[in-house]
Amino acid sequence: MKARVHVMLKNGVLDPQGEAVRHALGALGFDGVSGVRQGKVIELDLADGTTEATVKEMCEKLLANTVIESYTIELS
């Protein structure tokens, strides 16, 4: 079983990495980009039968800083 966790900064939290990417894209001639938010994707190989609740607990305890980040979980 696999899980993919998408972690992003919450709206309203400054994203200096995203701003640096936006600026770099503009410097490369891509002028139509008005905003960039950068996040991370974490892929987990899990034992069969692992529940979404277990993955959520992993996110809450380690994978995401829930004060400033939100996350979504995809199981497959």
CATH of the domain at 47: 3.30.1280.10
Instruction: Give the helix ranges, DSSP H, for 1-76.
Output: 16-27, 52-58
pTM for the structure as a whole:
0.88
Domain count, the chain: 1
Instruction: Report pLDDT for 19.
Output: 97
Domain that holds residue 25: 2-75
Averages of pLDDT over each 10 residues, the chain, 76 residues: 97 97 97 96 97 98 98 97
Instruction: Report pLDDT for 33.
Output: 96
Please name the residues in contact with 67: beta carbons below 8 A apart, sequence gap of 6 or more.
Answer: none
Separation of alpha carbons 54 and 62, rounded Å: 12
Instruction: Report pLDDT for 8.
Output: 98
Instruction: Report pLDDT for 61.
Output: 98
